[in-house]
Amino acid sequence: MPRIIHPLAGMIALLTIATFWLSTAISELFLSEAAVVAVKTTIPWGFLLLVPALAATGGSGFFLSHGQRAGLVGAKLKRMPFIAANGLLILIPAALFLASKARAGDFDTTFYVVQGIELLAGATNIALLGLGMRDGMKLTRWKRGNFLRLAASHTTTLAGKEEVARDTFAFRLQKPEGFTFRAGQAVYVTLPGQKETDNKGSIRTFSIASAPQEPDLVIATRMIGTAFKRCLAGLPAGSPVDIEGPYGDLTLDGDTRPAVFLAGGIGITPFRSMIVDAAARGLSRDLTLFYSNRSADDAAFLSELEQLAQQNPRFRLVATMTEAPDWQGEQGFITRDMIERHAGDIARPIFYIAGPPAMVAAMERLLREAGVSVENTRAEEFGGY
């Protein structure tokens, strides 16, 4: 429920303030004094909607953060006190004062000075709420079209773990009965009883690396030093793990055009799922994976992907290393020239991008400059914390 309340309450708050702001500006610039009086005396009643909406936005956002204070979540949380203070200390007192002055027909210099302050404070809150919505859309881009759906939560158990690259582990979870997903989708993961916390929070989003046909759910991550990762690494087999989902639309659709995957580091996980699933279903669609890592030791699932490329004539693997001079394949970052040498005309395929934020931004910029439309690009960021 909080995942429904948060965006809806935020939208109501933003639209309410924007309505106040626009009605004030329009009435004072273009309409009669009677219209100004009507607007200024009506606005205080709007606080009966605005104040609960802001409270619901802040409360649900705090709940959804699960202790996280870093990244986009941290930025959103830091804005809320400014929005609240701006409303309580400036917007509400100014609106009440202006309503009183307008009701008395007292449009003096003080009225317009306070009016200017109110408009400035309102514009500030509109901007801050807009930034919050932008960051929220970015955080939940992997859940497009799904956030109004009731979440399916399951408690499963850790079946095992293995190192699949340097400092990178895959964790096998028992698939809950009745749990279905599409290759490329993701789940929220929480660890019951997690005692150690930090500002990165106690919940993570993981793409499912296994295909729907495989018996277990597999998630994989680099084991950097956050409290969640330390707790996950220390879990013995049989430990409970809570998952919620599946979510996400980074999936192969019914399009018959070639699909090109651009993966950086642990961004390989949704593509491993898609590639295994495509082979299992015998899809006739051509798939090309460009997989960038520092070295082969850092490339999760590399040997398995090489075997899949040998077994499936529809799948081509292009592994490139940025810091491995002895690597016999492609060297350096993924470039337009590299894509066109292995996948042909860059305008033909549907592109799927997953990896660290900087890598995703670079690939989106590369494709945009090459003339690839936004409609032919799908992307997800993997923060890695």
**CB neighbour list of residue 286: distance below 8 Å, 6 or more residues apart:** 258, 259, 314, 316
Could you give the C-alpha distances from 220 to 175, 185, 209, 235, 335, in angstroms and in order?
15, 14, 7, 14, 26
- What local confidence, expressed as pLDDT, does residue 145 receive? 46
Separation of first and last alpha carbons in the chain: 26
Contact predicate 274/252, CB 8 Å: yes
Say yes or no: domain 259-381 is CATH 3.40.50.150.
Answer: no
CA distance 365 to 356: 14
CA distance 87 to 67: 25
CA angle (166 as vertex; 164, 172 as ends), nearest 5 = 30
Examine residue 215 and say whether the peptide bond preceding it is cis (omega within 30 degrees of 0).
no
Domain boundary assignment for the chain: 2-139, 153-247, 259-381
Q: Hey, how many other C-beta atoms are within 10 angstroms of the C-beta on 381?
A: 20
Strands 259-264 and 350-355: parallel
CA distance 34 to 86: 28
CA distance 297 to 169: 13
Concatenate the DSSP letters of all residues of 127-156 into one string. Answer: HHHHHHHHHHHHHTGGGTTTTTSPPPEEEE
- What local confidence, expressed as pLDDT, does residue 57 receive? 83
The tens digit of pLDDT for each residue in 11-42 reads 888 899 999 999 988 988 888 888 888 999 99
CA distance 78 to 82: 8
The angle that helices 269-281 and 302-311 make with each other, rounded to 10 degrees, is 20
CA angle (237 as vertex; 300, 182 as ends), nearest 5 = 50
Low-confidence ranges of the chain (pLDDT < 50): 142-148
Say yes or no: domain 153-247 is CATH 3.40.50.300.
Answer: no
Task: Name residue 186's beta-bridge partners.
Answer: 207, 247
> Which residue, among 176, 165, 240, 166, has the nearest Cα to 208 in the 3D structure?
176
SS3 266: helix
